[in-house]
Amino acid sequence: MRYRRLGGTGVEVSTLCLGTMMFGAWGNTDEKECHRIVAEALDAGVNLVDTADVYAHGETEEIVGRALRGRRDDVVLATKFHEPMGADRNRRGNSRRWITQAVEDSLRRLGTDWIDVYQVHRPDPRTDVDETLGALSDLVRQGKVRLIGTSAFPAEQIVEAQWVAQQRQRERFTTEQLAYSILARGAEAGVLPTCERHRLGVMVFSPLNGGWLTGKYRAGSVPADSRAGRNGDHFDFRDAAARDRKLDLVGELDALARESGLTLIELALGFVLSHPAVTSAVIGPRTLEQLRSQLGAGQLDGLPADVLDRIDALVPPGHNVNPADAGYQPPALTDPALRRR
């Protein structure tokens, strides 16, 4: 396993991060297997574990907490808040009121006294970023949180938050978690260079593009136990043009991987780890078999320039094959009331 500094924090983390969204009701309901996944990942050298309060509505954090008993001190543990955690309109978002409650709930479920990286799961246009930074700064000073970060923030909001932290003497965001893969390269245009300029540690989610870059989806074949098989309304399969283009690209990428002496999964993970702004790729296995198929990429530090050039020829830099892969759509685009009088 290789390790990199998490931005300018001085914390060293593995280039593969264990994502846990598939633990519990959303994926694997066998808690013993989830524990074995955690143990095997840690034994392989993974020291960064990522979760969120909303995963399986809190159940995932509880499973992670139990799985880490006796090994908590060896792990850089990251979780997130923002998404709704109940019908109450104030049990969501980025307000001080919710943050102070959400962190206590996560600490209890995780069975720990502190969170290493506490992340804002998505932007909240209704809340002043200074309100959010103020609450998070208090948590850092109280010792409940070590570092604070964001997820799926546009470049301009990352810059605004850095400016507000400086002007108001708040703790600043030091990490960003974003969607990035061979098939979803939009982050290259603005967010990744912005993170690099501000020395943010970058964790990449969906580096396998929702399973596409495992090679499991082929023309006329959707495995029943895959994410798309379990969710018949999977967004890629609603868009025939995006689906067909991805099918074509996966075939070409698979051939490139074999020519390069890699598996398709290793090609995909090696690609995101080649970007100078990226610290760690979040892998989200549902089973032990899936974990084992991805751990080999922990030995990669990136891909050779000639292989990256051939990927560029297939998917241009900054291009998302499916626009829905961006990870976040600002309300100004999704709410007509914000652009009409």
Predicted pLDDT of residue 282: 98
According to the model, what pLDDT value does residue 232 have? Answer: 58
End-to-end CA distance of the chain: 55
Say how many CA atoms lie within 13 Å of 109 toward its Cβ.
Answer: 23
Ordered per-residue pLDDT tens for the chain, 341 residues = 999 999 999 999 999 999 999 999 999 999 999 999 999 999 999 999 999 999 999 999 999 999 999 999 999 999 999 999 999 999 999 999 999 999 999 999 999 999 999 999 999 999 999 999 999 999 999 999 999 999 999 999 999 999 999 999 999 999 999 999 999 999 999 999 999 999 999 999 999 999 999 998 876 566 656 666 556 566 566 778 888 899 999 999 999 999 999 999 999 999 999 999 999 999 999 999 999 999 999 999 999 999 999 999 999 999 999 988 887 888 888 888 888 87
Give me the CATH number covering residue 115. Answer: 3.20.20.100
Question: What pTM, to 2 d.p., does this model score?
Answer: 0.93
CA 21 and chain centroid, separation: 10
Q: Is residue 229 part of a domain?
A: no
Look at residue 12 and tell me if it is in a domain. yes
Decide if 328 is catalytic.
Answer: no
> Which of 3, 55, 118, 328 is an active site residue?
55
Q: Provide the domain count of the chain.
A: 1
Query: What is the reported pLDDT for 329?
Result: 83
In a domain, 146, yes or no: yes
123 belongs to a structural domain? yes
Is residue 16 assigned to a domain? Answer: yes
**pLDDT score for 340:** 85
CA distances from 153 to 120, 130, 142, 330 (A): 9, 15, 26, 10
Residue 223 lies in a domain: no
- Asked if residue 55 is part of any domain, the answer here is yes
Do the domain assignments include residue 264?
Answer: no
| Non-local CB neighbours of 10 within 8 Å, separated by 6+ positions | none
Domain that holds residue 47: 3-210+269-302+316-338
- pLDDT the model gives residue 212: 94
309 CB contacts (<8 Å, ≥6 apart)?
Answer: none
Nearest of 239, 215, 216 to residue 229 by alpha carbon: 216
